[in-house]
Chains A and B, each alone.
Chain A
């Protein structure tokens, strides 16, 4: 059994990773405001957790201008996808071993 991933396991970061993972396409990114609505976070809270996930190499943050307005888009990196899958498998193992 692999250990707990403390970066991902924090409640808000787990939600962020789950949302990004559900957008299954590899190159697909989600706009900051849409992600904020999905995970029910505030601007500051979401920004801080995205920084942590970016430093861990689990997500990629893209900043660009669309129609002269700044837009922040977030997508999951391949490393993030792997780490999330491992963390979910770890959570399932805990439940399975408790039931055995």
Chain B
């Protein structure tokens, strides 16, 4: 059996396609737990803010800190399990920069901008980060981000207090359902 250069090139192309698809699936499987953790934390954040509105800033700070610690722990555990793998930390730093940007502008704009707009600013910025990450990591992230943003935009047809409830359901629901979907579509090792 002999292989001509065209057939060899086609075989290498097939290998590259499957490798890309497998890395995407691994990324989906690996991100599933992170999405679900953030979904549960965001739901708790909205619930606690409703009960203790005066402590909203502290509550969201705690939620963000716990989410970051949880995310870093999952990444560190996977890294310990597979030390031979290299991870591109630029994406993690890009997400951190986006979160810091959102927090700073929320602090500055909070007293000026109408409250319903502020409800959607941080969540849409967070989902934009997921869309951007999806350009490198896989199309399912883009879908989750777009669906979340569309649902948040739809929520602006609702009046208070339904808007807050909608935001809580959409943000936590998008992350938890998205996380389960990623887990089912992905591969875990």
The chain A residues found within 8 Å of chain B, CB to CB, are 4, 6, 9, 11, 14-15, 18-19, 21-25, 28-31, 34, 38-39, 88, 91-92, 94-95, 98-99
- Given A15-B14, A23-B187, A28-B189, 13 more contacts at CB 8 Å? A9-B3, A9-B11, A18-B18, A19-B18, A19-B22, A22-B18, A24-B85, A25-B81, A25-B82, A38-B18, A38-B187, A91-B11, A99-B5
Q: How many residues of B contact A (CB 8 A)?
A: 24
In the complex, the answer to whether A94 meets B5 with C-beta atoms within 8 Å is yes
Q: Kindly list chain B residues whose C-beta atoms are within 8 Å of the C-beta of A98.
A: 5
Instruction: Give the nearest-CB partner of A98 in chain B.
Output: B5
Query: What per-residue 1/0 map shows which CB atoms of B1-41 lie under 8 Å from chain A?
Result: 11111001101101100110111011000000000000000
Q: What are 12 sample pairs from A and B whose C-beta atoms fall under 8 A apart?
A: A9-B1, A11-B14, A15-B18, A19-B18, A22-B23, A22-B26, A23-B26, A31-B187, A38-B22, A91-B8, A92-B8, A94-B5
The 8 A-B pairs at the shortest CB distance, nearest first, are namely A98-B5, A22-B22, A28-B189, A18-B18, A94-B8, A18-B15, A91-B8, A22-B19
Which of B8, B19, B82, B84 has the largest number of chain A CB atoms within 10 A? B8
In the complex, the answer to whether A18 meets B22 with C-beta atoms within 8 Å is yes
Q: Kindly list chain A residues whose C-beta atoms are within 8 Å of the C-beta of B21.
A: 19, 38
Q: Kindly list chain B residues whose C-beta atoms are within 8 Å of the C-beta of A29.
A: 189
In the complex, the answer to whether A4 meets B1 with C-beta atoms within 8 Å is yes
Instruction: Give the nearest-CB partner of B85 in chain A.
Output: A24
> Within the complex, which residue of A11, A28, A88, A99 is in contact with B12, where a contact is CB–CB below 8 Å?
A88
> Within the complex, which residue of A24, A88, A95, A99 is in contact with B15, where a contact is CB–CB below 8 Å?
A88
Instruction: Give the nearest-CB partner of B20 in chain A.
Output: A22
In the complex, the answer to whether A24 meets B82 with C-beta atoms within 8 Å is yes
Q: Kindly list chain A residues whose C-beta atoms are within 8 Å of the C-beta of B26.
A: 22-23
In the complex, the answer to whether B5 meets A18 with C-beta atoms within 8 Å is no
In the complex, the answer to whether A95 meets B12 with C-beta atoms within 8 Å is yes
Q: Kindly list chain B residues whose C-beta atoms are within 8 Å of the C-beta of A18.
A: 14-15, 18-19, 22
Query: What per-residue 1/0 map shows which CB atoms of B139-152 lie under 8 Å from chain A?
Result: 00000000000000
